[in-house]
Amino acid sequence: MQHLTTEQSNPITSEIDAACTLEIIQLMNAEDKKIAAAVELESAAIAAAVDAIADRLAKGGRLLYLGAGTSGRLGVLDASECPPTFNTPPELVVGIIAGGHKALTSAIEGAEDDEQAAIADLTQHELNQRDVLVGIASSGRTPYVMSGLRHAKALGAFAIGITCNHQSELESVADVVIAPVVGPEVISGSTRLKAGTATKMVLNMLTTATMILIGKTYGNWMVDLRASNVKLKARSIRIVSSIAKVDEQQASELLEQCHGEVKTAIVSAMRSLDYAEARSLLEKSAGKLRAALTL
| pLDDT tens for each residue of 267-293 | 999 999 999 999 999 999 999 999 999
Q: What's the whole-number mean pLDDT along residues 127-143?
A: 97
Which burial class, exposed, middle or buried, applies to 20 when counting CB atoms under 10 A from its CB (0-12, 13-18, 19+)? Answer: exposed
Is residue 13 scored above 80 in pLDDT? yes
Least confident of 1-5, 18-22, 37-41, 251-255: 1-5
Is residue 228 scored above 90 in pLDDT? no
Task: Spot the catalytic one: 31, 42, 112, 261.
Answer: 112
Q: What's the whole-number mean pLDDT along residues 210-226?
A: 94
Q: How confident is the model at residue 74 (pLDDT cuts 50, 70, 90)?
A: very high
pTM: 0.92
| pLDDT tens for each residue of 102-130 | 999 998 888 999 999 999 999 999 999 99
| pLDDT tens for each residue of 180-213 | 999 999 999 999 999 999 999 999 999 999 999 9
pLDDT at 109: 82
CA atoms of 174 and 188, how far apart (whole Å): 27
Is residue 1 scored above 70 in pLDDT? no
Nearest CA-CA partner of 206 in 41, 58, 82: 82
Q: How confident is the model at residue 295 (pLDDT cuts 50, 70, 90)?
A: confident
pLDDT at 58: 93
Strands (DSSP E) contained in 48-189 are 63-67, 93-97, 132-136, 158-162, 176-178
Within 13 A of 150's CA, how many CA atoms are on the CB side? 14
pLDDT at 214: 95
| CB within 8 Å of 9: residues ≥ 6 apart | 184, 188
Domains annotated for the chain, with CATH where assigned, are 5-213 (3.40.50.10490), 230-294 (1.10.8.1080)
User: Has 81 been annotated as catalytic?
Assistant: yes
User: Has 112 been annotated as catalytic?
Assistant: yes
| 255, 240 contact by CB (below 8 A) | yes
Q: What's the whole-number mean pLDDT along residues 145-173?
A: 97
pLDDT at 243: 97
Task: Spot the catalytic one: 7, 15, 40, 81.
Answer: 81
pLDDT at 80: 97
Amino acid at 211: M
CA atoms of 159 and 150, how far apart (whole Å): 8
Q: How much helix, strand and coil, in percent to the nearest 5, is found in the chain? A: 55, 10, 35
pLDDT at 266: 97
96: three-class secondary structure by DSSP:
strand
Q: How confident is the model at residue 3 (pLDDT cuts 50, 70, 90)?
A: confident
| pLDDT tens for each residue of 40-68 | 999 999 999 999 999 999 999 999 999 99
